């Protein structure tokens, strides 16, 4: 994940109360109309509960756009 990706994830999750599971992260980002690249990155997250946005950012694969290139 690049610094720009990390900033986008942090922005999309700003204000979210943690801990939060993957589905809650996705719903929150979708409700905030996060850009498609950020949503794609969040969809690649492993299932689980995340304690903060830094943990989310570190869990996203290095190249999330390649993880789900069928879109």
Q: Which residues have a Cβ under 8 Å from the Cβ of 20 and sit 6 or more positions away?
A: 28, 49, 50
pLDDT tens digits for range 23-62: 999 999 999 999 999 999 999 999 999 999 999 989 987 6
Q: Where are the domains of the chain?
A: 3-61
pLDDT tens digits for range 59-71: 987 654 444 444 4
Specify the pTM.
Answer: 0.80
């Amino acid at each position: 994940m690049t610094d720009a990706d990390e900033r986008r994830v942090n922005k999309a999750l700003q204000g979210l109360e943690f801990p939060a599971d993957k589905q809650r992260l996705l719903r929150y980002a979708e409700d905030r109309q996060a850009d498609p690249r950020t949503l794609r990155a969040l969809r690649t997250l492993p299932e689980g509960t995340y304690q903060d946005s830094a943990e989310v950012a570190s869990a996203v694969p290095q190249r999330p756009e390649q993880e789900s290139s069928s879109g």
